[in-house]
Amino acid sequence: MSSQSFEFNASNLEAWQKAAVKSAPGGDVNALNWKTPDGIVVKPLYTAEDTANLPYANTLPGFEPFLRGPQATMYAVRPWTIRQYAGFSTAEESNAFYRKALAAGGQGVSVAFDLATHRGYDSDHPRVTGDVGKAGVAIDSVEDMKILFDQIPLDKVSVSMTMNGAVLPVLAGYVVAAEEQGVSQDKLSGTIQNDILKEFMVRNTYIYPPEPSMKIIGDIIEYTAKNMPKFNSISISGYHMQEAGANQALEMAFTLADGKEYVKTAIAKGMDVDEFAGRLSFFWAVGMNFYLEIAKMRAARLLWCRIMKGFDAKNPKSLMLRTHSQTSGWSLTEQDPYNNVVRTTIEAMAAVFGGTQSLHTNSFDEAIALPTEFSSRIARNTQLIIQEETHITNVIDPWAGSYMMESLTQEMADKAWAIIEEVEAMGGMTKAVGSGWAKLKIEAAAAEKQARIDSGKDVIVGVNKYKLAKEDPIETLSIDNVRVRDGQIERLAKIRATRDSAKVQAALDALSASAESGQGNLLDLSIQAVRLRATVGEISDALEKAFGRHRADTQKVTGVYAAAYDDGENVGDTMEYWNALKADIAAFADAQGRRPRVMISKLGQDGHDRGAKVVATAFADLGFDVDMGPLFQTPEECARQAIENDVHAVGVSTLAAGHKTLVPAIIAELKKQGADDIIVFVGGVIPRQDYDMLYEAGVKGIYGPGTPIPVSGKDVLEQIKKALA
């Protein structure tokens, strides 16, 4: 058989274009282009011409600029660490889960704390009645922390803790629990998230304002550099940005800009950059945009190396970006939930191809409730199968040299760098966050994405296409919040009764004085207080005396959702439905003398407000008058505001499993305050088996993940009409 070599040239490309025209829509090859949410145009065909002038296409892993990975041999010698992010109910139950996970192939512990802990409240505080033990483990003191890590050797097991607001008492509790296990600080390995800037943008589990929060970060970086050399002092997180709606370029740019700000903070404390930079780590979301996620992770390493060279870092470890990754929670659907196993597998492979150092895979039922042991095992085995059965680990950066991937990596880097330069022109990320600009950029991206789904432009299998006629129920995990809280309150009472109260108060006073003066290290002082059995809430209160507690604004973007609907691409049923609903709302306003007025609220300590903000934006674009309640309201406060604002309806957005306690409470409060004509509707992560209980409590509408906003808007309008009839 004879062979003939092929040489690429311009005439070959022209020949391909002529062939492609025959099958391209409308005979236009450009119609095959795909424009990403980041504004990057991805072509259907890439050639050697696309990589001919790229400066980093032929670099090697383990060497600057680390585009192909931070380690020379990557997974060929050591695969990524398998982590299982979990925490629920009590320290005892979470400990049992961790030990089972470690025995079944898990290689590190990743702790999820409940929202009361995140926000610096002890379990007996009146503002957290519906939050204790929900969406994470309740931790009030070092006694809880000791139970959490019982029979888990902290000198051998790496521990990752997602904690930002109450980072001082939680990290101090971990250190003291290890000490009392016989493990010194220098032997501890793991990561504390400690990334407060992103909390002001998206997740909202902050406590103090930005400036004192940055002081806390500097103190933790300083203390761990001196005393905990194996421990990562901060995990700079883009994960929650993407979960809140950011596209990949925004996620990467804002995360790297946050990292740059933290480096400035540590240097301002007098530290040499190479003294701490090697212990900084990152945390990416990995969603369903497969190619972009791989390119994002490669480009991020390139840009971080560039940023650290700007700080005159010399040590190669200071220049390399190391990351944990987690598959997307937002991409999981309530409808046809077993499809989520496939989604998570695809996302996990993107994380691996992108070169992650550790990975958490979400469970398929997390759009419905907390994951069960069954679903967690499938999630963990997804990683084990990729590591053990596919041979993916045998090749280092297998996408290297791909015309498409190398081009896309450079385009992602250029796109993100332009955003970083925009942030720098504002004076850095602290200024960009403080102005509200960064938050609004993410919220606009979220509203645009939701409109694309609701209008059918973006397909979600089982949600807006290929829907099941009937959904079968699946087993879900339910937490008895009252039982957990009662147990925590009892343990708190015992601690307070048996400790030396005078010494505890002296330690708390020392914390307040340090926070006020700026002298001393706050982590060091927190560890001293925790040794004396000061609680999470007490330490947080001591700091709040000096720092105050941050209050977020409730501004929302407008017009973005409608623009995505009205851009001329919508045809058929979705556009007709949208226009008909706008007409119905206008007719209501004519008949009633005012537009239908709704208040969108978040109750308890759940700060995840993507859904609330998107619904508020879309309802306003439809013609509703929309009020946004402040975050962290109690049912009493929410009812009072709803009455004062004379709304027709209150919409409660819930993602942290507090609906069984908090939603009936708001309905009871409205009745108590003489406003039972105000209807209540609920959206978010709610198991189907809880629907009847909520309807019996008086809820008029429940809209789970995947419900098109115009559909929920139509139903809310009809319920308001009924209430007025």
**Any catalytic annotation for residue 403?**
no
Measure the CA–CA gap between 616 and 621, rounded to whole angstroms: 9
Q: How far is Cα 572 from Cα 566, in angstroms, rounded to an integer?
A: 13
Asked if residues 120 and 128 have their Cβ atoms less than 8 Å apart, the reply is no
Other beta carbons within 10 Å of 19: 11
- The full 3-state SS of 307-355, as one line of letters, equals HHHHCCCCCHHHHCCCEEEEECCCCCCCCCCCHHHHHHHHHHHHHHHHC
Mean pLDDT of the chain: 91
Catalytic site includes residue 272: no
What burial class does residue 244 get, using C-beta atoms within 10 Å of its C-beta: 0-12 exposed, 13-18 middle, 19+ buried? buried
pLDDT grade for 17, boundaries at 50, 70 and 90: confident
Of 122, 606, 609, 690, which one is the catalytic site residue? 606
Q: Is 46 a catalytic residue?
A: no
716 Cβ partners below 8 Å, 6+ apart?
596, 598, 619, 649, 651, 679, 681, 701
pLDDT mean over 215-238 = 94
* Active-site residue identified among 50, 56, 75, 85: 85
Query: Contact at 8 Å (CB) between 116 and 131?
Result: yes
pLDDT of residue 370: 75
Query: Rounded to whole angstroms, how far apart are CA atoms 589 and 365?
Result: 41
Catalytic residue among 56, 75, 206, 239: 239
pLDDT digits (tens, 9 = 90+) for 283-341: 999 999 999 999 999 999 999 999 999 999 999 999 999 999 999 999 999 889 999 99
Distance CA 663, CA 615 (A): 18
H helix runs in 568-634, sequence order? 573-592, 610-622
Among candidate residues 349, 374, 405, the one with its CA nearest the CA of residue 477: 374
pLDDT of residue 384: 95
CA distance 114 to 484: 11
Measuring CA to CA, which residue among 682, 422, 446 is closest to residue 557? 446
Spatial contact of 168 and 215, defined as CB atoms under 8 Å apart: no
| Residues in Cβ contact with 211 at an 8 Å cutoff, skipping those fewer than 6 apart | 430
Active site residue 324: no
DSSP 652: E
Closest C-alpha to 611, from 367, 275, 319, 304 = 367
Tokens of 602: 């978040």
Q: Do you find a cis peptide bond into 229, omega within 30 degrees of 0?
A: no
pLDDT of 567: 57
- Catalytic residue selected from 415, 608, 660, 700: 608
Question: pLDDT at position 553, please?
Answer: 72
Q: How much is the pLDDT for 571?
A: 46
pLDDT exceeding 70 applies to what percent of the chain?
Answer: 96
pLDDT band of 83, cuts 50, 70, 90: confident
To the query of whether residue 118 is one of the catalytic residues in this protein, the response is no
- Taken as a whole, the chain contains a residue count of 725
Among residues 134, 146, 198, 240, which one is catalytic? Answer: 240
Share of the chain above pLDDT 90, in %: 68
Task: Please write the tens of the pLDDT for every residue from 559-604.
Answer: 778 877 665 555 456 778 888 999 999 999 999 999 999 999 999 8
240 flagged as catalytic? yes
Q: Within a 10 A sphere around the Cβ of 52, how many other Cβ atoms? A: 9
* Predicted confidence band of residue 3 (pLDDT cuts 50, 70, 90): low
| Interval 63-82: pLDDT, tens | 999 999 999 999 999 999 88
Nearest residue to 283 via CA among 77, 83, 450, 417:
83
Q: Extract the tokens encoding 44.
A: 């259907």
Q: Quote the pLDDT of residue 30.
A: 84
- What pLDDT shows up at residue 656? 67
